[in-house]
Structure 1
Amino acid sequence: MSELEWLAMARHGESIGNVAWRTAEAGRREEIDIGLRDPDVPLSDTGRRQAKALGRWLAAMPPDERPTVVYSSPYVRAAETARIALAEIGDLPIRLDERLRDRENGVLYALTWRGIAARFPDEMARKRLTGKFYYRPPGGESWADVALRLRSALSDIQRDHPGGRVLVVAHDAVVVLTRYIVERLTEQDVLEIERTLVPNASLTLWARKDGELRLVTSNSTGHLDAADLPV
């Protein structure tokens, strides 16, 4: 990844799915009341304000330090975050890439941990045996599966934008697994990192130093704090 000047990963702003998940957890429910395909889940009002704050952070950068190209997951919550943020700095096109989509949970989609334990106890046991990184739910993806497609996407970005400053707007799993790839982490390393929540609309940034991309900041929310927004 040494050809890029810097690479930044932003998680999408708060979605109505995030809100529904918190409601389900607080109510000790088995299922998240969302009623949408995962690709179609939009931002909440708070998420839109977070996206705007991200855009203001970008606008405050000197023009010669701003992103030269922006990629996004095609999922509505990510693409909407990218569009709102980029409206603050002008006409920079957004390149949608399905390899940046969220991890697919298959039959476990829209279930809380309580719901999974109640409806798919065999899957809970299989996950414990296989381990979180390699466990693949029926019809879904493992973390290793996501890393495989993400390696392909990052390789293409590196090839197509030598010397570029690249912003990617995606999902928490994509942010964490980009750290796994760029920083050459182990399975144990990435699972320890994953224990810390990636806040909505947060930024993780790597910059080139000594020929390699090196982590500058992870899960940064200063732009949200400045706007007095929740993280």
Structure 2
Amino acid sequence: MTTRLDWVGLLRHGQSTGNVAREAAEAAGREVIDIAERDADVPLSELGLRQAQAAGEWLAGEPPQLVVASPYRRAVDTARVALDVAAARGVEVPGGLRADERLRDRELGVLDMLTSRGVAERWPDELRRKQRLGKFYYRPPGGESWADVVLRLRSLLADLSAETPGLRVLFVAHEVTVFALRYVLEGVPEPDLLAAAARTDIPNASISAWERGQDGGFRITAAQDVGHLVDVPLV
């Protein structure tokens, strides 16, 4: 992708109560995840809050010029906590924090709140369609594909490039955003991207980063880094 940004970072939100509920439901073999809130309102867990604070210590040492967060509560709260910690260390981000709906998590439509077992039991035709199309192009009824996420991410990157050439921007968003950035910035082909996704874990509060080279292309300089979480559990 042609962009005039110099550096793009991605901080995945800290552990949320939804992450905890999903893991419990999958482990118990249940069909439905027990989450009271809508996805956009799921808060951080206590561990997620500690992870966000640790990310703030990293932010104080590597401050971007702007932080843009998904509007989902778990992402905005992660960003706010991290920025507060950095500010307490005397480090301010010039552009501050803004939320942008183009960084929201992928919408799952009819598959929302379902575990892998729930999808197989309640939507077997959709599971077969996903297996045939692959997760990059598969769009559940009422939901989005990875390609849809990529399209809105391209739009956001283009707007930021036009707004401030040479910008160093940190996104605070979701697991799927990491793979979308690899596709857009690095140009990773779909088959390679899906293979990478199958073998890659994106821990909560991990940091990935891309830097623009002399040729104008981006190279990844940090991949799911958790060094700042050395004193904080990952799960």
Could you state the TM-score of these two structures normalised by the residue count of structure 1?
A: 0.94
Alignment-derived partner of residue 144 in structure 2? 141
1:70 maps to 67
- RMSD across aligned positions (CA): 1.3
Which amino acid in 2 is paired with 1:159? A
What CA distance in whole angstroms lies between the structure 1 residues aligned with 2:36 and 2:206? 26
**What secondary structure sits across from 2:85 in the alignment?**
coil
In structure 1, the partner of 2:18 is 17
Instruction: Output the CA distance in 2 between the equivalents of 1:45 and 1:215.
Output: 31
Task: State the partner residue of 2:180.
Answer: 177
Taking only the aligned residue pairs, the percentage that are identical comes to: 53
Distance 2:132 2:3 in 1: 37
CA distance in 1, matches of 2:100, 2:171: 10
Deviation at 1:106, TM superposition (A): 0.4
Matched, 1:156 2:153: no
Q: 1:19-69 CA deviation, whole Å, 9 max, x = no partner? A: 0011101111111000111101110000010000000011134xxxx2111
SS in structure 1 of the partner of residue 220 of structure 2:
strand
**Which of 183, 187, 192 is equivalent to 1:189?**
192
Instruction: Determine the structure 1 residue equivalent to 2:229.
Output: 224
Q: Which runs of 5+ in 2 are unaligned?
A: none
Q: How many residue pairs were aligned?
A: 226
- Counterparts of 1:169 and 1:116, CA distance in 2: 28
Contact in 2 for aligned 1:2/1:213 (Cα 8 Å): no
Asked whether the equivalents of residues 3 and 157 of structure 2 are also in contact (C-alpha less than 8 Å), the reply is no
Q: Tell me the SS of whatever aligns to 2:212.
A: strand
Match of 1:100 in 2: 103
Partner amino acid, structure 2, of 1:216 = T
